[in-house]
Homo-oligomer: A and B are copies of this chain.
Amino acid sequence: MSAPRLGSIESGGTKFVCLVGSAPDRIEAETRFPTGEPGPTLARAIAFFQETAASTGPLDAVGIASFGPLELRPGHAKFGHLAATPKPGWSGVDVAGPIAAALGVPVGINTDVNGAALGEGRWGAAKGLDTYVYLTVGTGIGGGAVIGGKVVNGLVHTEMGHLSVPRVAGDAFPGSCPFHGDCWEGMAGGEAMGARWGVPAEELTGDALREALRLEAAYLAAGLRNIIYTTAPQRIVIGGGVAVLPGLFPLLRAELAAVLGGYPGLPEHAAEDFVVPARLGRLAGPAGGLVLADSAAAAAAAAAARPRPDDGPSGGPDA
């Protein structure tokens, strides 16, 4: 069987990345453009896939890793729609529907961070694992949990950036989250770091950088502890702009050991490969779109192979 021809969209608050391929290292076409009004932006993505298909052959499926919040409950009337979002014009917009209608192929959709989690699992730092967490620490903090090989989407997708974390002693920063003030993202996201230190994190140097890293590692470790005790990951993969600050990971591992307090005492939690940097970089989201497309194609194929209800009650293995 030849490799599938998959379309991927990373739909971000500031830009769209669209590509066609089968893996991060097998991309045959790619485009990126700013996120504008919903209609023209989605139309531009559709046009890219139509043009690519016309010149090189039809697509099998498209996957979308989108900014949120998204309605993702299967069968829900608003499945694939955005919920209320600060991005002007996008609240309530159907993201998946127009793509599926225009292209006539199966379409999968999930959040950008869940997409990145799937991408890192298939090709990146969580390859081979079935239970892990992907965290992005950039302007904000977002996390996606893959448990037993599947992304956690229960009542809603996860919202790990809004975990509560204990305030580090002596830290008077009020927090930057409009909902919670001093939640995890409000204390440790890139926006919070910029507000706390008066300059963007990546511009810090010397003693200021050292102090910022110390505090950042403490807050990140506190949140990781909560993630570990609730989802029991085999590994935690961290991407995003803050994650690449020099020297952060060794500090973070030391702080994590301290806050776990020897409980449950697993050597795996102290290993170098437990908390690791993301590997796919800017391709994590688009790679996630490819995984979502692949899953959508597989689900559609399985549905097509399944006997319809009027074929009788015992017509197949799923009946």
Residues of A within 8 A of B (CB): 69, 83-84, 131-132, 143, 145, 147-148, 150, 152-167, 179-180, 222, 225-234, 259, 261-266, 268-269, 317
Instruction: Give 19 CB contacts A-B under 8 Å.
Output: A84-B265, A131-B154, A131-B155, A145-B231, A147-B147, A148-B148, A152-B231, A155-B269, A156-B266, A158-B230, A160-B229, A162-B263, A163-B226, A164-B259, A165-B166, A179-B261, A179-B262, A180-B261, A230-B231
Find out whether the CB atom of B225 lies under 8 angstroms from the CB atom of A264.
no
Nearest-Cβ distance from residue A71 to partner chain B, whole angstroms: 10
CA–CA, A263 and B163, complex, Å: 11
B residues less than 8 Å from A155 (CB atoms): 131, 232-234, 266, 268-269
Q: CB-CB < 8 A to A158: which residues of B?
A: 229-232
What's the dominant secondary structure at chain A's contact region? loop
CA gap between A192 and B233 in the complex, in Å? 28
Q: Which chain B residues border A84 with CB–CB below 8 Å?
A: 265
State the Cβ distance, A172 to closest chain B Cβ, in Å: 15
Q: How far is the CA of A284 from the CA of B159 in the complex (A)?
A: 30
Q: Check B163 against A166 for contact (C-beta < 8 Å).
A: no
Q: Contact: A233 with B154, CB < 8 Å? A: yes
On chain B, the residues within 8 Å of A180 by CB distance are: 259, 261, 263
